[in-house]
């Protein structure tokens, strides 16, 4: 082996994992070198092979010559053309020595590359043969081929099974579908049936039809048997028509009267008839489908009725509302008070004719403008806190200064001001009474204000006239009292002369009848003087001319004097005059002793006068009323004729007596008690009476005095 081949062997073969050898560039192809991989694969030794022609070392087994030929042809091709040549998958049996030393051939497959190796002179130096054992690949491929066949077979079998399964599934689905359709047919909400022949014999029908007809099974019946009678004539005619014409028919609301043993039922049907045609387009039967729409029709009828009644109600209500609106309008129009409605910002929304007249502004001008313009703004701001609470609670949309004014503490807490000064369109002012309230919608939501205004001008004028008249009357009354006082005073002087002179005359020796006349003149004079005194007192009190004294006096001597003055009359009538005075009465009081004496004299005098038998008692109690003050309680108790309850109220009025007969029986003017009452009031005391007719009376006086 020359150096080139040696280097090729060293560089290429020695380390190669592919088996390989170098051959001489001669037709006998001697083995020049061989690598270990090849030796291992073939089970040969290098000594065995080197220098030996290739086809002697690896001869063909009889019957397996193909591989050897292919190798030789390839090598020859390389030798001749100088081009590399590839041999793919060659069967090449290898002689193998078993462990027991016997030899046999093992089937192996190789792929090989024969490459010409030129020398430095360009001439072929050797041929390299490198080979890869592809036995495993070939075997695998063969196995794969076998598997593929198997797969194909299995697939074919599976295909058959699948087809059978599929068929089964299709059958099942069809069966299910058929069942579903039958179910649908049977349970369809409407009725469905098929007829055959001119007599319309029913050949198939669902439950809805049996339910409609009875319930009974109608299959096998003719239409006339299933639906007999006059009431079904229109229904049967429709079938005849389709049978004759071969055209479908639809009826939207077909009446059908069904009669059975129990009752007759009147139905309304919605029905569609479809002719069933054969191949020659001849009608063989009819497919009928429909619904019982009786209830729907009834509901529709009811609905129509309801609608009609609703419409009538709406009509009626509208009429009522119109009437109400008219009435409201009439009220607004004819109201004597001005009625002004505003929104929450006080913009006028309604202004009635009275408002137009009172405020002298036409409604068209007032509407949309602020109602606050009709107020005296200064007065409104000053007294805003006295506007009604609900108005102040809904003032959010009113002008801010007014809201501020509403929040100020009111001048009179709790007082709601209704009298305001109003300003007319022409700027003139008038006093008015306005009730303001909050307008609310049907949900109670505040939507504005309502003011009802009355003009107080006339009332004020009337009040003023009355005030003037009462002043005049008072002045007249005072003048009368003054006149009376004056007259009384003037009367006293001549009366005193009459009394005095008649008293003097009585002291003279006079003829008997003259003496009696003089006595009468004297008594009449005394009575007249008492009356004049009373009139004078009352007049002075009423004219406000009576002034009370403020002087210290002792109570005990005053009482003694009074009792001494009354005692003669009491004695004359045989009455017991009793005194019930609490001890320690050495009181010195400050006040008008004369008037106190007058009060007591009057009460005691009356008690004696109106008591025929029994007693008259003066009872006195003193209650301390704070430092330096005393409250005197005086009761004059008699056992006389008493006073009826209905008279008790009047006896304190001037010139009033309990009974007309009293004047005749007891005399008197009816002035005493009214003077007493006025005096007691002037002295800041109280006067009361308790009396039972026939059982006596008790007059009680309570008077405050300062203690001296």
Structure tokens at 110: 């190789």
Site string for ligand ADP, 625-644 (x = CB under 6 A): -------------x-xx-x-
Omega into 702 within 30° of 0, i.e. cis? no
Candidates 86-94, 305-313, 466-474, 653-661 — which segment interacts with ligand ADP by CB under 6 A? Answer: 653-661
- Within the chain, what is the greatest distance between any pair of CA atoms? 229
Measure the CA dihedral 353/357/362/368, to 10°: -70
668 binds ligand ADP (CB under 6 A): yes
Candidates 451-459, 465-473, 583-591, 651-659 — which segment interacts with ligand ADP by CB under 6 A? Answer: 651-659
Candidates 325-333, 420-428, 618-626, 665-673 — which segment interacts with ligand ADP by CB under 6 A? Answer: 665-673
CA distance 88 to 67: 10
Measuring CA to CA, how many Å separate 615 from each of 50, 581, 598, 662, 691?
192, 16, 21, 20, 15
698 binds ligand ADP (CB under 6 A): no
Site string for ligand ADP, 350-389 (x = CB under 6 A): ----------------------------------------
Q: Output 399 or 670, the one with its CB closest to ligand ADP.
A: 670
670 binds ligand ADP (CB under 6 A): yes
60: exposed, middle or buried (Cβ count in 10 Å: 0-12, 13-18, 19+): middle
Computed on alpha carbons and rounded to an integer, the radius of gyration of the chain in Å comes to 75
Which helix (H) or strand (E) covers residue 473, if one does?
helix 457-507
Q: How far is the CB of 558 from ligand ADP (least distance, A)?
A: 20
The correct pick among 271, 293, 535, 607 for binding ligand ADP (CB under 6 A) is: 607
Q: How far is the CB of 617 from ligand ADP (least distance, A)?
A: 12
CA distance 250 to 59: 101
Cβ pair 213, 226 in contact under 8 A: yes
The correct pick among 54, 651, 687, 701 for binding ligand ADP (CB under 6 A) is: 651
Q: Output 651 or 680, the one with its CB closest to ligand ADP.
A: 651
Q: Output 338 or 541, the one with its CB closest to ligand ADP.
A: 541
Q: How far is the CB of 618 from ligand ADP (least distance, A)?
A: 13
Nearest to 566 by CA among 598, 528, 526: 598
Cβ pair 91, 111 in contact under 8 A: no
669 binds ligand ADP (CB under 6 A): yes
The correct pick among 269, 395, 618, 658 for binding ligand ADP (CB under 6 A) is: 658
Nearest to 112 by CA among 127, 122, 123, 95: 127
Q: Output 35 or 598, the one with its CB closest to ligand ADP.
A: 598
SS3 379: helix
Q: Output 316 or 659, the one with its CB closest to ligand ADP.
A: 659
Candidates 76-84, 240-248, 357-365, 606-614 — which segment interacts with ligand ADP by CB under 6 A? Answer: 606-614
697 binds ligand ADP (CB under 6 A): yes
Q: Output 214 or 667, the one with its CB closest to ligand ADP.
A: 667
Size of the chain, expressed as the number of residues it contains: 708
Q: In what order do the strands lie in the sheet with 19-23?
A: 31-34, 19-23, 124-133, 109-118, 85-91
Q: Output 117 or 641, the one with its CB closest to ligand ADP.
A: 641
238 binds ligand ADP (CB under 6 A): no
Omega into 57 within 30° of 0, i.e. cis? no
Site string for ligand ADP, 559-598 (x = CB under 6 A): ----------------------------------------
What are the φ/ψ torsions at residue 68 (nearest 5 degrees)?
Answer: -65, -40
How many C-alpha atoms does 557 have within 13 Å on its Cβ side? 7
SS3 433: strand
Kindly state the number of chain residues that form the binding site for ligand ADP, as judged by CB under 6 A.
20
Q: Output 593 or 658, the one with its CB closest to ligand ADP.
A: 658
Q: Output 494 or 693, the one with its CB closest to ligand ADP.
A: 693
Cβ pair 696, 638 in contact under 8 A: yes
Q: How far is the CB of 676 from ligand ADP (least distance, A)?
A: 7
Q: Output 85 or 638, the one with its CB closest to ligand ADP.
A: 638
| Residue 255 DSSP class | E
CA distance 80 to 606: 190
Structure tokens at 168: 């089964």
535 binds ligand ADP (CB under 6 A): no
CA distance 642 to 658: 10
Which helix (H) or strand (E) covers residue 31, if one does?
strand 31-34
610 binds ligand ADP (CB under 6 A): yes
Q: Output 60 or 601, the one with its CB closest to ligand ADP.
A: 601
672 binds ligand ADP (CB under 6 A): yes
Q: How far is the CB of 638 from ligand ADP (least distance, A)?
A: 5
Cβ pair 600, 640 in contact under 8 A: no
Candidates 280-288, 385-393, 495-503, 652-660 — which segment interacts with ligand ADP by CB under 6 A? Answer: 652-660
SS3 680: helix
Nearest to 2 by CA among 121, 129, 131: 121
Candidates 31-39, 329-337, 431-439, 663-671 — which segment interacts with ligand ADP by CB under 6 A? Answer: 663-671
Interface residues with ligand ADP (CB under 6 A)?
A: 606-607, 610, 638, 640-641, 643, 651, 657-659, 662, 668-674, 697
């Amino acid at each position: 082996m020359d150096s080139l081949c040696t280097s090729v062997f060293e560089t290429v073969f020695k380390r190669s994992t592919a088996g390989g050898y170098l051959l001489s560039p001669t037709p006998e192809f001697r083995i020049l070198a061989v690598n270990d991989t090849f030796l291992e694969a073939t089970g040969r030794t290098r000594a065995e092979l080197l220098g030996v022609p290739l086809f002697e070392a690896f001869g063909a087994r009889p019957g397996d010559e193909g591989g050897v030929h292919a190798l030789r042809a390839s090598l020859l091709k390389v030798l001749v053309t100088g081009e590399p040549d590839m041999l793919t998958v060659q069967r090449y049996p290898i002689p193998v020595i078993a462990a027991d030393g016997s030899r046999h051939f093992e089937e192996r497959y190789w792929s090989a590359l024969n490459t010409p190796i030129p020398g430095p002179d360009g001439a072929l130096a050797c041929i390299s043969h490198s080979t890869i054992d592809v036995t495993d690949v070939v075997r695998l491929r063969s196995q794969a081929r076998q598997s593929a066949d198997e797969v194909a077979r299995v697939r074919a079998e599976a295909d058959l099974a699948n087809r059978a399964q599929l068929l089964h599934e299709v059958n099942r689905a069809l069966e299910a579908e058929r069942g579903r359709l039958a179910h649908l047919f049977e349970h369809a909400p409407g009725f469905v049936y098929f007829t055959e022949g001119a007599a319309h014999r029913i050949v198939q029908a669902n439950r809805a039809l049996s339910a409609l007809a009875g319930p009974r099974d109608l299959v096998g019946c003719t239409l006339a048997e299933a639906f007999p009678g006059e009431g079904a004539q229109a229904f049967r005619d429709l079938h005849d028509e389709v049978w004759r014409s071969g055209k479908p028919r639809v009826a939207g609301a077909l009446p059908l009267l069904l009669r059975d043993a129990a009752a007759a039922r009147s139905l309304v049907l919605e029905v569609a008839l479809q002719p069933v045609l054969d191949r020659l387009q001849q009608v063989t039967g009819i497919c009928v489908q429909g619904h019982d729409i009786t209830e729907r029709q009834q509901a529709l009828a009811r609905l129509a009725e309801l609608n009609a009644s609703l419409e009538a109600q709406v009509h009626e209500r509208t009429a009522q509302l119109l009437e109400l609106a008219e009435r409201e309008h009439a009220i607004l129009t004819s109201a004597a008070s001005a009625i002004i409605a505003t929104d929450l910002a006080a913009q006028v929304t309604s202004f009635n004719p009275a408002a137009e007249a009172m405020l002298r502004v036409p409604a068209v001008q007032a509407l949309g403008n602020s109602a606050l313009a009709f107020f005296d703004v200064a007065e409104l701001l000053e007294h805003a806190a006295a506007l009604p609470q609900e108005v102040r609670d809904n003032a959010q949309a009113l002008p801010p200064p007014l809201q501020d004014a509403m929040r100020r503490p009111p001048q009179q807490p709790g007082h709601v001001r209704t009298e305001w000064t109003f300003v007319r369109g022409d700027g003139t002012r008038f006093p008015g009474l306005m009730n303001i309230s909050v307008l609310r919608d049907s949900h109670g939501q505040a939507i504005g204000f309502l003011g009802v205004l009355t003009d107080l001008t006339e009332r004020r004028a009337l009040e003023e006239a009355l005030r003037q008249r009462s002043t005049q009357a008072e002045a007249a009354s005072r003048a009368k009292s003054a006149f009376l006082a004056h007259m009384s005073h003037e009367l006293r002087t001549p009366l005193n002369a009459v009394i005095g002179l008649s008293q003097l005359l009585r002291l003279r020796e006079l003829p008997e009848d003259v003496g009696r006349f003089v006595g009468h003149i004297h008594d009449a004079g005394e009575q007249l003087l008492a009356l004049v005194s009373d009139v004078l007192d009352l007049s002075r009190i009423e004219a406000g001319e009576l002034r009370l004294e403020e002087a210290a006096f002792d109570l005990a001597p005053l009482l003694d004097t009074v009792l001494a003055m009354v005692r003669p009359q009491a004695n004359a009538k045989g009455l017991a005059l009793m005194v019930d005075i609490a001890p320690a009465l050495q009181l010195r009081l400050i006040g008008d002793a004369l008037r106190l004496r007058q009060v007591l004299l009057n009460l005691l005098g009356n008690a004696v006068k109106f008591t025929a038998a029994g007693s008259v008692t003066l009872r006195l109690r003193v209650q301390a009323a704070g430092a330096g003050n005393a409250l005197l309680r005086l009761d004059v108790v008699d056992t006389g004729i008493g006073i009826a309850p209905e008279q008790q109220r009047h006896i304190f009025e001037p010139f009033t007596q309990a009974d007309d007969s009293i004047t005749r029986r007891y005399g008197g003017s009816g002035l005493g008690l009214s003077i007493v009452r006025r005096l007691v009031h002037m002295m800041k005391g109280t006067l009361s009476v308790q009396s039972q007719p026939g059982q006596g009376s008790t007059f009680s006086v309570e008077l405050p005095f300062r203690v001296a």
